[in-house]
Amino acid sequence: MYCLTEAHPAREVNRYLPQFRVAVVLVKAGETEERAWRRHVREHPQDRTAEVRIFHIDTSDSP
């Protein structure tokens, strides 16, 4: 069976795979996703162009 990873070094394989920037954003209690995103981008400007945004909503009871 042909295996691409055996035929090419890892860096060559990665060249053919789609590349996505993923941002994981913590949404604090009482904060909207939009506000959390703006805060996240201020703290991490490189994520401004993220294609995938994952919002983690804080459900802890502590302030």
- Please write the tens of the pLDDT for every residue from 24-46: 999 999 999 999 999 999 999 99
On average, the pLDDT of the chain sits at: 82
* More confident position, 50 or 9: 50
Identity of the amino acid at 18: P
Per-residue confidence at 16, pLDDT binned at 50, 70, 90?
confident
Which pTM value belongs to this model? 0.65
Q: Which helix (H) or strand (E) holds 53?
A: strand 52-57
Per-residue confidence at 62, pLDDT binned at 50, 70, 90?
low
Spatial neighbors of 61 by CB under 8 A, at least 6 apart, are none
Calculate what percentage of the chain has a pLDDT beyond 70. Answer: 71
